Structure 1
Amino acid sequence: MNEFINFISQPWPWYVAGPVIALVMFSLLLLGNSFGISANLRTMCSIFGAGKTCEFFDFNWRSQIWNLIFAGGLIIGGLIAHVYLTPSQEVHISQATINDLHALGVEDPGSSLVPESIFNWESLFSVRGFIMLVVGGFLIGFGTRYAGGCTSGHAISGLSDLQLPSLIAVVGFFIGGLLMTHLVLPHLLTL
C-alpha cells in the first residue's frame, strides 16, 4: 500500500499523463464535444440570466452542463492532489533559473508555486502589481474571447481535432509567451 501511495504522490511522467489526456480527448471527440475551460464562464453567465441582455450569452446552457461538471472535477482533483498527494510545497526549478529570477528582483523563487513577493495584496496597489495582475488579467480575458477559446481549448481539444485556427492560436500563445518572458517581464519586475 505504501508503494502505491508513493507512486501516486509523485508527478506522473509524460508517458502516463499523455495517454490519459489523449483518452479523454478521444472520448470527447466520439461524443461530439470539445473541451475548454473558458467556455464555462459563458455557461455560468447564461445560467444567471446574462442572455436576457447580451446575445452572446443567449444559448442553450443545459447542453454544456457536462463541461461544468468536468471543470468541477478538475477543481476537486486538484484539491485532493494538493491536500493529500503533495509531499512539499517547494517548486523544483534549476539553479540557473533561481539565479536569473534573483537578478530580476524576485525574492525566494521556488519556495511556492507563485512568487509571493509579486502575487499578494500589497503588490496589487503598486504600479508593477497593477500592471501584472489587473492589466494582465484583462488582456488574458480579452485574448481568450478574441481567440475563441483558451489555451486548454485550443492546445488540447482544438489540436486533437486538427483545427487550423487552434494551431494558429497555439503558435500565437507561444510567441506571446516568449515575447512576454524575454522582453516585457524583465522591465515589469524592475518597476
Structure 2
Amino acid sequence: MIASFFPNGWQHYLAGGLFIGAGVALLYVATGRLAGMSSVFTSSWSYVSSRVAFRQPRWLASRAWRLQLALGLVLGAALWWLLLGPAEPLATGVPAWRLALGGLVAGFGARLAGGCTSGHGICGMGSLKLPSLLAVLTFMATGFLTAMALGALGVAP
C-alpha cells in the first residue's frame, strides 16, 4: 500500500521534512521570525522595485535576512545536487504555459491568503496559529477540488 503512494521510497521525504522542520524551528527559536517564502519573494522585490507595495517598512526592515534565507535555500539545493545528483529527471511533460499559469494562480492565492504554503503550513501551523490552519485547509480543499475538476474535464498533467 505505501509503495503505491511512494514508488521511489519515502525515506528522502522524511529526511527533507526533518531538515525543513529543524531549519524553521532554529530560525524561530533564534530570532522569533517565521520563514514564509512568499514574504521572502515580496521583500526581495523591494531591492529593485519602487512600487509602494514593496516599499512598506516591514519588507524593507526584513529584506536582508530574508534574502539570506533564500540564498541559503538555493545554495543548499545546489550543493545537494552537486554532491548527490538529481533524485529524478529534471524534465516534465507539463507545458510551460501551464506551469506559468499555475505559478501565477498560486502566487495570487498566496498574497490573498497573507502567506504561502510554507509560511502557513510549516511555520504558522507549527506555532499553532489558527489563521494558518484555516489557510492550509483552504489550500488543500482548493487543490483537491481543482485536481478533481480538471480530471473530470480530461485535463491531465
TM-score, structure 2 normalization = 0.75
Aligned CA-pair RMSD: 2.7
Alpha carbons of 1:87 and 1:29: their partners in 2 closer, same or farther (altered >3 Å)? Answer: closer
Question: How far apart, in 1, do the equivalents of 2:18 and 2:28 lie?
Answer: 15
The structure with the larger Rg is 1
Alpha carbons of 1:141 and 1:22: their partners in 2 closer, same or farther (altered >3 Å)? Answer: closer
Alpha carbons of 1:88 and 1:141: their partners in 2 closer, same or farther (altered >3 Å)? Answer: closer
Quote the residue 1:43 is aligned against.
43
Question: How far apart, in 2, do the equivalents of 1:55 and 1:88 lie?
Answer: 38
TM-score, structure 1 normalization = 0.64
Quote the residue 2:112 is aligned against.
146
Runs of at least 5 residues in structure 1 that lack an aligned partner in the other structure:
1-9, 90-111, 125-131
Partner secondary structure for residue 106 of structure 2: helix
C-alpha deviations, 1:121-176, integer Å up to 9, x for none?
Answer: xxx3xxxxxxx234333211210100011111111111111111110111111111
Whether 2:144 is the aligned partner of 1:187: answer: no
Question: How far apart, in 2, do the equivalents of 1:144 and 1:175 lie?
Answer: 15
Q: Please tell me whether the aligned partners of residues 36 and 149 of structure 1 are also in contact (alpha carbons under 8 angstroms).
A: yes
Displacement after TM superposition at 1:85 (Å):
0.5
Alpha carbons of 1:85 and 1:33: their partners in 2 closer, same or farther (altered >3 Å)? Answer: same
Runs of at least 5 residues in structure 2 that lack an aligned partner in the other structure:
1-9
Quote the residue 2:20 is aligned against.
21
Whether 2:75 is the aligned partner of 1:79: answer: no
Question: How far apart, in 2, do the equivalents of 1:166 and 1:33 lie?
Answer: 15
Q: Please tell me whether the aligned partners of residues 39 and 115 of structure 2 are also in contact (alpha carbons under 8 angstroms).
A: yes
C-alpha deviations, 1:78-101, integer Å up to 9, x for none?
Answer: 122223313663xxxxxxxxxxxx
Question: How far apart, in 1, do the equivalents of 2:74 and 2:85 lie?
Answer: 15
Quote the residue 2:66 is aligned against.
67
C-alpha deviations, 1:8-52, integer Å up to 9, x for none?
Answer: xx95362x44443333232222211011111122112212242xx
Alpha carbons of 1:138 and 1:188: their partners in 2 closer, same or farther (altered >3 Å)? Answer: farther
Over the matched positions of the two proteins, sequence identity in percent amounts to 31
**Which has a greater percent of helix?**
2
Q: Please tell me whether the aligned partners of residues 37 and 116 of structure 2 are also in contact (alpha carbons under 8 angstroms).
A: yes
